[in-house]
């Protein structure tokens, strides 16, 4: 009843079976022109009965649309794998709602990979993650003529569509939260050094927001990049306590070390939130799953993926009013890892 590679049911088969022309079958499928109820039913019945599936390649050739999106995922050090995965799944799921599929590309393929899938019409549009402040792919994406959405904001986003959590506001929100609780000295435990070196936008922005808010509130602040392993976390904790005895508030923007860092603080004799208030910028699932849940600003990977696809769909449909910048406002969830400083 259904065919494999060789025995494909084609649109002419369906047409014959339903007693209509191929174009009518096509239009019944696409809805691009009105079909009488009676005809539509017969066509649909034939399609079901014969197990017809339009040939993707033929369709792409004739319609100039592949109904495939490219998703470029980063691989490099310092990016939290579950975030990437959740984002990817969200992109796939949302794309399916718009009848699109997703082609997976790795950052490694570089600009050549983007050109390849775009120029060969393998994909209709692209989603690019892990954008640097000065990303070498910007020029390419601008010239591509196929729509794209970037996750993250480069320094010069003009002419491109970007979506991201407002990481600067997220940094600020954490600090303001601590400020309201009366804390006077805060530290940011950030991403691994290499992330800053390669000028990853979101890491940099957190630092900006963190510092700005601390300054604004007259707080003492410091920033500490941290490698993504437990030993580094422990070392960072020790160093923090040694160098800044007055410290009462910490913001962690580094998924990999959040848990070991909290454990280290406790093993060093600090109670949380009694002696030290801790906030994080990380996925809610992570913050909530710890032995000691952490108050955090969510990195909403799933929502970002959904937004990215929706924006692309609007661009593909020629909608003219697609915003260049979409900054999701940070939302802080209190999980009890922060307390008023007066408590001391």
| Residues between 254 and 283 with contacts to DNA, criterion CB under 7 A | none
> Is there binding between residue 268 and a copy of itself (CB under 8 A)?
no
For 84-95, b/e burial (b = at least 16 CB within 10 A) is bebbbebbbebb
| Residues between 205 and 244 with contacts to DNA, criterion CB under 7 A | none
Using CA of residue 86, residue 90, residue 96, residue 100, what is the dihedral sign? negative
Binder to a copy of itself among 11, 18, 20, 88 (CB under 8 A)?
88
Of 52-60, 136-144, 190-198, 301-309: span binding DNA (CB under 7 A): 52-60
Binding marks (x or -) toward a copy of itself, 111..130, rule CB under 8 A? ----xxx-xxxx--------
> Is there binding between residue 89 and a copy of itself (CB under 8 A)?
yes
β-strand pairing of 332-333 with 295-298:
antiparallel
User: Closest approach of Cβ 306 to DNA, in Å?
Assistant: 26
The single residue listed with the structure tokens 């570089």 is 110
Residue 286: its H or E element: helix 284-289
Q: Return the closest-CA partner of residue 193 out of 150, 238, 234, 229.
A: 229
Neighbouring CB atoms inside 10 A of 73's CB total 21
Binder to a copy of itself among 8, 77, 155, 344 (CB under 8 A)?
8
> Is there binding between residue 105 and a copy of itself (CB under 8 A)?
yes
Q: Return the closest-CA partner of residue 208 out of 227, 221, 195, 218.
A: 221
Rule CB under 8 A: which residues touch a copy of itself? 2-6, 8, 51, 53-61, 64, 66, 68, 71, 73, 75, 81-82, 84-85, 88-89, 92-93, 96, 101-106, 108-109, 115-117, 119-122, 143-146, 229-231, 234, 259-260, 263, 289-291
């Amino acid at each position: 009843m259904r065919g494999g590679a060789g025995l494909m049911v084609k649109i002419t088969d369906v047409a014959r079976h339903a007693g209509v022309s191929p174009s009518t079958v096509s239009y019944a499928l696409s809805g691009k022109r009105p079909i009488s109820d009676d005809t539509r039913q017969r066509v649909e019945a034939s399609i079901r009965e014969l197990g017809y599936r339009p040939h993707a390649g033929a369709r792409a050739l004739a319609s100039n649309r592949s109904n495939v999106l490219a998703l470029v995922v980063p691989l490099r050090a310092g990016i939290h794998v579950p975030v990437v995965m959740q984002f990817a799944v969200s992109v796939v799921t949302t794309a399916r709602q718009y009848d699109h599929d997703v082609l997976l590309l790795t950052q490694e393929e570089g600009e050549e990979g983007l050109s390849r899938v775009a120029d060969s019409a393998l994909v209709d549009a692209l989603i690019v993650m892990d954008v640097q402040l000065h990303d070498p792919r910007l020029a390419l994406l601008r010239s591509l003529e196929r729509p794209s959405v970037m996750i993250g904001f480069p320094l010069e986003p003009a002419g491109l569509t970007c979506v991201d959590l407002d990481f600067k506001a997220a940094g600020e929100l954490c600090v303001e939260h601590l400020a309201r609780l009366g804390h006077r000295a805060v530290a940011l435990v950030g991403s691994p050094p290499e992330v800053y070196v390669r000028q990853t936008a979101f890491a940099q922005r957190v630092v900006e927001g963190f510092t700005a808010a601390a300054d604004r509130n007259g707080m003492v602040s410091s920033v500490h990049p941290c490698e993504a392993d437990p030993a580094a976390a422990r070392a960072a904790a020790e160093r923090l306590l040694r160098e800044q005895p007055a410290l009462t508030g910490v913001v962690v923007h580094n998924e990999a070390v959040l848990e070991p860092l909290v454990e280290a603080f406790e093993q060093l004799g600090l109670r949380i939130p009694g002696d030290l208030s801790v906030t994080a910028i990380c996925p809610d699932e992570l913050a909530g799953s710890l032995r000691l849940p952490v108050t955090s600003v969510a990195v909403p990977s799933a929502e970002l993926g959904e937004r990215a696809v929706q924006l692309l769909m609007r661009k593909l449909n020629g909608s003219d009013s697609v915003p260049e910048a979409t900054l999701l406002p940070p939302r802080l969830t209190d999980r009890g890892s922060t307390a008023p400083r007066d408590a001391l």
